[in-house]
Chain A
Amino acid sequence: MDRLSALPSTLCFDLGSTIWDDRPALELQWGFLVEILASYGIDTSLEQIREMANEVIRSFAPTLTRVIVWQMTGRDEGKYRSIIREMVERMLPILDDPDQFRRLNPLLPGAHETLAELAGRHRLAVISNNFASADRWMEYHGIYDYFEHISMSGAHRLHKPDPRLFIVTLEALGVEAADAAMIGDRLDNDIWPANRLGMTTVRILQGHYAVQQSRYHVDEPDACIDSLPELLQLGRR
């Protein structure tokens, strides 16, 4: 699978399951979801949510928790929107506390050191499906300054896998797709759009999405790594 001899000059990173482990935060969110659903008369359990999540991941749905809520509410748009809003209202104050955030989204092993080293040799950017305010979460981990540009979907109202979020990023940096790489954990949201644009693609096998298997050749990354420090080896080859 690895067809990559060297990393290009610009590296774009996903955040969740690429730089930090968002599984503890997801578990908390799903716990809230079970409680909120109960208040709407929808009976479920954490175990059931986890099972649904596995199915959603395998179906290549663009988002995870939203799809679960959509299905749990029987595709009732009104309920869906209120439940999402309630969930966000419960999650955000917790995540905005630096200590809580770091506990619920710990950096993946070697992330800090790897980014520090790469920042000296490459231009770094973030492309993430996230709140516009997620910049501050990067500050909580002390990694904000390594990045020259940050594209949060919430700020642009463009969400992965829409390739336009990637184009916005490349244009902001003034680089061609051929001179940039996307590093992410998802075949659908990270690798597919970047491949479509002609970027170099590196898949990191972390988190819930490590089980995704390529549907066709456009899902195939140029390289696959198990952990972020392996990027340094790729860069040196």
Chain B
Amino acid sequence: MTKCILFDLGGTLWDDWPAELEYWRICAGLLTGAGHPCTVQQFISESTALIDRYCPSLSRALVWRFAGYDDELAARIRKEASSMIWELLDDNEQLAKLYPLWPGVHGVLNELRETCRLGVVSMHGSRVRPVLQRMGLAEYFEAVSLCDEAGLYKPDPRIIQHALDAMELEAADCIMVGDRIDNDIWPANCLGLRSVWLQAHPYDRQLPRYELDRPGLVIKSLDSLPPALRAMGWIA
């Protein structure tokens, strides 16, 4: 049986794509202003090739590429664009528009917390914590492991181990739910957790490359998670 379910955030509890597009739009503007003209359309078309190469971070890769592979410029642009996007997210209407929750999130988390403990393992920085509060999601989770805070970045399995340690759990008793084969399923499988892949745009085109990429369960929408877990006998 399962003691804990760990969730990725962006792409798993909400649709990340609108925020991603807005972030790229801001980055393209800043890069163009810095003498590296580019468009959000170019970001979108390049992103597909990066997903196909299982690139750990799409936005970091895209900004770096369009900044002419200049590390410092890329870091500066990302920092500036991040503070602009977080400023937008301070507004509740923008938050709902840029991070639209997948249908049924509250129902799913409410139901699952009756059967086991819940946690988060996400690439987001600390600024996502108040956002989880405002979305009414924070209360579901006992522990939230964030890459920036831990200094460990997906797909490094140690970020999942960090969450297990924080909750004093064994890998075999836990499930990882995420939308990425490379960043969620692979590290969970490496550690011996069971894994659930929410196959959703844009990472739905990532297919398991070999056995360590293989999710224990595939779902197409988050609201199908509880019945799917029951059908596997993973929860009561």
Contact = CB atoms under 8 A, between A and B. Distances in A.
Contact of A67 (B52, B64, B74, B209): B209
B153 A196 contact: yes
A229 interface: no
A70 B209 contact: yes
Interface in A159-217: 159, 161-164, 192-193, 196, 215-217
A67 B208 CA distance: 9
A39 interface: no
Interface residues of B, number: 27
Interface size class of A (residues with CB under 8 A): 20 to 34
Nearest to A197: B156
Given A215-B50, A217-B64, A162 B211 contact: no
Contact of A162 (B57, B60, B61, B190): B190
B211 A215 contact: no
Contact of B211 (A70, A158, A164, A193): A70
A62 B53 contact: no
B157 A67 contact: no
B211 A77 contact: yes
Nearest to B50: A215
Contacts of A62: 186, 209-210, 212
Interface string A72-93: 0001010010000000000000
A63 interface: yes
Contacts of A77: 211, 214
Contacts of A192: 56
A70 B210 contact: yes
Nearest to B57: A216
Contact of A196 (B52, B156, B186, B212): B156
Interface string A212-233: 0001111010000000000000
B54 interface: yes
B54 A217 contact: no
A162 B186 CA distance: 10
Interface in B181-236: 186, 190, 208-212, 214
Interface string A96-131: 000000000000000000000000000000000000
Contacts of A56: 209
A48 interface: no
A156 interface: no
Interface string B33-58: 00000000000000000101111110
Contacts of B214: 75, 77
A216 B210 contact: no
Contacts of A6: none
A66 B53 CA distance: 17
Contacts of B158: 163-164
A117 to B, nearest CB: 32
Nearest to B156: A163
Contacts of A161: 155
A193 B55 CA distance: 13
Contact of A63 (B60, B71, B155, B210): B210
B60 A217 contact: yes
A58 B54 CA distance: 10
Interface in B62-115: 64-65, 69, 71, 74
A192 B211 CA distance: 21
Contact of A216 (B64, B156, B211): B64
Contacts of A144: none
Contacts of A218: 56, 60
Nearest to A84: B211
Interface of B: 50, 52-57, 60-61, 64-65, 69, 71, 74, 153, 155-158, 186, 190, 208-212, 214
19 contacts: A58-B53, A60-B54, A61-B210, A70-B208, A70-B209, A75-B208, A75-B214, A80-B211, A159-B190, A159-B212, A161-B155, A163-B157, A164-B157, A192-B56, A216-B57, A217-B64, A217-B69, A218-B56, A218-B60
